[in-house]
Amino acid sequence: MNLVVVSNRVARGKANEPMTGGLAAALLPVVENSGAIWVGSSGRVRDGSQEPFAEIEALGAGALAMLDLPAAHYGGYYEGFANSALWPAMHSRPDLIRATRDDYLSYREVNAFMARALLRFRKKESAFWVQDYHFLALGAELRDLGVTEPIGFFLHTPWPAHNVIGGVPHARELIEAMLAYDLIGFQTGEDCDNFLSAVQHELDLPVHGGVILSRYGRTRAAVFPIGIDVELFAQYAAKSSSHPEVSRLRRSLDGERLAIGVDRLDYSKGLTNRIRAFDQMWSDQPSLLRTASLLQIATPSRGAIEAYGNLQNEVAKLVSDVNGRHGEIDWTPIRYLNKGFGQAVLAGLYRTAQVGVVTPLQDGMNLVAKEYVAAQNAADPGVLVLSKFAGAANELDAALLVNPHDIDGMARTIATALTMPLTERRMRWEAMMAKLRRGTIQQWFANFVEELQEARLDRTEMPLPTSEQPTPWPRRPAQAGARFH
């Protein structure tokens, strides 16, 4: 099979290059080994009257193709509809939804443009695997161009309650277009249920055991929680002291305990509540002043969007207030960095920190939580403080789970994490590592691709079920690492 993977952002990264975003970093090692072609945006634009231009380079056993997207539509697609309408909706922030008719048209134009560009990579026995909310309508565009091969879709973000997604202009059209996919994967059972409920509310279509019947045929919705390359991350961490940033951090701590947060600067990540929780912790427990600090890495992202610019100012002001309140001439409570780091350095920073704080208000999975765990030293592991609203909390239930809206509760839990005895830390860490090893990125990738091929066969070969006769799914036992709806 010739697999074509499509996402907006791609990674050509080396372990030392900074990477923004979980999707690109997570996909890199598996795409490299699979021999797939990975197609995405080059980050550059080009006049729409010109032919689609792709820069192609080798990527492991496969290739990376980076397309210049049409200049006239890029802003409306990326900053507009994808990140000012779909992103806030997916993260249950309908108050932040901003969408104009032109933004929607640009989003559809870029989806159609990508579909045309993909034809160049279509070979005998191709299959297409589309990633994320940037390309909800890409499958339908490919079908319109006559593509009959398997097309799958995976959503890396949450899928919200039907009344929230229903607030996105053109939601109905987009959900209908998604039914051109043979298989739609979600991070959690709740996301999958929400999607099926949106299909019923918006389209009034029959759904049987996760299978939807539409004019396109049948579409299967199922759960595939994304994992990480656990061994690779553990190796990076074990070798990390050779990186100057890691050794400088270690030297600077001088016995002090460290908590670490690593996020894109995004309102879904709960950064302001996290900083308030540290503020509260230092006020309530003065013994932690000078003995425990926070390193917060917040990589700027989507800066042209008003909500992101406002957030950047708010977080910077808050950090400066807290440092002003609790800091000393020779001690800074929060080190706050607005830049990205490569995976190998990050692994070393995670291993240096006694506590990882991952407290998003909503998150599809959150791979930082998994990376923090994988990077720990088995003999002296750190503690993960994790939001119960991150998809990762379903698997990493041995973390200290917190409500990211409860500042007092988070302050107490972070203090508990900073002082947790070794026996309990090891017990929790071993339980989490066992889960990570059962659901790696390699298993996620293989399970989805295998299920996609089966879903396509069923779509074309099996008779449609009647409402009295629902199709039983899955027709065979799920494999390690995959949980099916």
Could you tell me the smallest distance in angstroms from the CB atom of residue 134 to ligand F6P? 8
Contact call for residue 269 and ligand F6P (CB under 6 A) = no
User: Which residue out of 132, 363, 458, 485 is catalytically annotated?
Assistant: 363
Could you tell me the smallest distance in angstroms from the CB atom of residue 25 to ligand F6P? 8
The residue from 4, 6, 9, 191 that contacts ligand F6P (CB under 6 A) is: 9
The reply to whether 156 belongs to the active site is yes
Contact call for residue 22 and ligand F6P (CB under 6 A) = yes
The residue from 264, 425, 428, 459 that contacts ligand F6P (CB under 6 A) is: 264
Contact call for residue 157 and ligand F6P (CB under 6 A) = yes
C-beta of 282 vs 372, nearer to ligand F6P: 372
The residue from 156, 218, 326, 428 that contacts ligand F6P (CB under 6 A) is: 156
Asked if 145 contacts 116 with a C-beta cutoff of 8 angstroms, the reply is: yes
Tokens of 112: 């159609």
Contact call for residue 220 and ligand F6P (CB under 6 A) = no
Contact call for residue 158 and ligand F6P (CB under 6 A) = no
Could you tell me the smallest distance in angstroms from the CB atom of residue 203 to ligand F6P? 24
Contact call for residue 160 and ligand F6P (CB under 6 A) = no
C-beta of 22 vs 76, nearer to ligand F6P: 22
Residue 333, preceding peptide bond in cis (omega within 30° of 0): no
Could you tell me the smallest distance in angstroms from the CB atom of residue 76 to ligand F6P? 15
Could you tell me the smallest distance in angstroms from the CB atom of residue 156 to ligand F6P? 3
Asked if 482 contacts 443 with a C-beta cutoff of 8 angstroms, the reply is: yes
What string of H, E and C letters represents the secondary structure of the chain?
CEEEEECCCCCCCCCCCECCCHHHHHHHHHHHHHCCEEEEEEEEEECCCCCCCEEEEEECCEEEEEEEEEHHHHHHHHHHHHHHHHHHHHCCCHHHCCCCHHHHHHHHHHHHHHHHHHHHHCCCCEEEEEECHHHCCHHHHHHHCCCCCCEEEECCCCCCCHHHHCCCCCHHHHHHHHCCCCEEEECCHHHHHHHHHHHHHHHCCCEECCEEEECCEEEEEEECCCCCCHHHHHHHHHCHHHCHHHHHHHHHHCCCEEEEEEEECCHHHCHHHHHHHHHHHHHHCHHHCCCEEEEEEEECCCCCCHHHHHHHHHHHHHHHHHHHHHCECCECCEEEECCCCEHHHHHHHHHHCCEEEECCCCECCCHHHHHHHHCCCCCCCCEEEEECCEHHHHCCCCCEEECCCCHHHHHHHHHHHHCCCHHHHHHHHHHHHHHHHHCCHHHHHHHHHHHHHHHHHHHHHCCCCCCCCCCCCCCCCCCCCCCCC
Of 475, 444, 445, residue with least CA distance to 458? 475
Could you tell me the smallest distance in angstroms from the CB atom of residue 128 to ligand F6P? 18
The residue from 2, 20, 285, 419 that contacts ligand F6P (CB under 6 A) is: 20
The reply to whether 485 belongs to the active site is no
From its phi and psi, is residue 60 left (phi > 0), alpha (psi between -120 and 50) or beta?
Answer: left
One symbol per residue from 78 to 107: x for binding ligand F6P (CB under 6 A), - otherwise; what is it?
------------------------------
One symbol per residue from 335 to 364: x for binding ligand F6P (CB under 6 A), - otherwise; what is it?
-----------------------------x
Q: For the segment 361-420, give every residue that binds ligand F6P (CB under 6 A).
A: 364
User: Which residue out of 73, 91, 156, 326 is catalytically annotated?
Assistant: 156
One symbol per residue from 224 to 263: x for binding ligand F6P (CB under 6 A), - otherwise; what is it?
----------------------------------------
Q: For the segment 104-143, give every residue that binds ligand F6P (CB under 6 A).
A: 132
Could you tell me the smallest distance in angstroms from the CB atom of residue 87 to ligand F6P? 8
Q: How many residues bind ligand F6P (CB under 6 A)?
A: 13
Contact call for residue 21 and ligand F6P (CB under 6 A) = yes
Interface with ligand F6P by CB under 6 A: which range of 15-23, 121-129, 385-393, 460-468?
15-23
Could you tell me the smallest distance in angstroms from the CB atom of residue 251 to ligand F6P? 31
Residues that bind ligand F6P (CB under 6 A): 8-9, 20-23, 132, 156-157, 264, 301-302, 364
Which sequence positions are flagged as catalytic?
156, 363
